[in-house]
Amino acid sequence: MFGVPPAIIGMLQKMGEFLQAAIVRATQDVAKGLRPNPDELADWLRSEMESWEPEMKKRRLADPETRKAAARFLAGVACNLVSPASP
């Protein structure tokens, strides 16, 4: 049986918090009549993630490039969630 280490669960929980923050920000754009821009949202989210240093067995899991990719992924998901569905 495969067990998920607590460090991974903690990292995923934090990513969920970042996703929630991105959803809130994207929803605010929609409320203003703007279409959320995933690249701009990712830049903002990456600044929010700057001090995030997840570790497992004393190994850093998020270098700047990894945080950049994670921010873009989460921003894209947030924008897709709040944008109207395509026909």
User: What is the C-alpha separation between 36 and 21, in angstroms, rounded?
Assistant: 13
4 pLDDT band, cuts 50/70/90, is confident
Q: Is 72 or 86 the better-scoring residue by pLDDT?
A: 72
> Is the model's pTM score more than 0.85?
yes
Q: Name the token pair of 43.
A: 């830049």
49 pLDDT band, cuts 50/70/90, is very high
Q: Does the structure show a pLDDT above 90 at 6?
A: no
CA Rg value for the chain: 15
User: What is the C-alpha separation between 67 and 47, in angstroms, rounded?
Assistant: 9
56-73 pLDDT, tens digit per residue, is: 888 888 889 999 999 999
Q: Name the token pair of 68.
A: 């950049």
